[in-house]
A = this chain, B = another copy of it.
Amino acid sequence: MGANSKLTIAIHALVWAALNERQGSTYSTSEEIANSIKTNPVVVRRMMSDLTKAGLIESRRGAGWRLSVPAEKMTLWDINLALGPEETFALHRNEPSATCPVARGIRPALRSTFARVDEVVRQELARTTLADVFDETLSPSQN
């Protein structure tokens, strides 16, 4: 499958939960969230389970989840890290030739190059909080 939309789903779920809490509910359920995202509740539960393990939210069986970190303190990198971040670019799927000097040297060279890319992605995600996305999502220009 193509690109990674896990982060999109997670942020959507968290913004939904944040709004739900702001409107007076304590817990949000996988069914409510799946409804907004238009996906299956199990997909939501699976993903929320990762966020729970990372301590970003807390679950209560029979009730749902609530944020355990304030939206202002939760960065998009925290969320992405909880989901198990993927590298922006992948190395070769198969080991390249063992006899060719280019093939032998290219992997370490690209590893360090791609690590720098991943680092700037990390920095950019760490700069944005869930509250930032929340505000932009619900800004008047969207209604």
Q: Which residues of A contact B (CB under 8 A)?
A: 1-5, 7-9, 11-12, 15-16, 19, 35-39, 76, 86-97, 100-106, 108-110, 112-113, 116-117, 120-121, 123-125, 128, 132-133, 136-139, 142-143
Contact = CB atoms under 8 A, between A and B. Distances in A.
A84 to B, nearest CB: 13
A78 to B, nearest CB: 14
Contacts of A37: 92, 96-97, 103
A103 B36 contact: yes
B38 A106 contact: no
B38 A96 contact: yes
A4 B136 contact: no
Contact of A128 (B76, B113, B123, B128): B113
A113 B97 contact: no
Contacts of A15: 102, 106
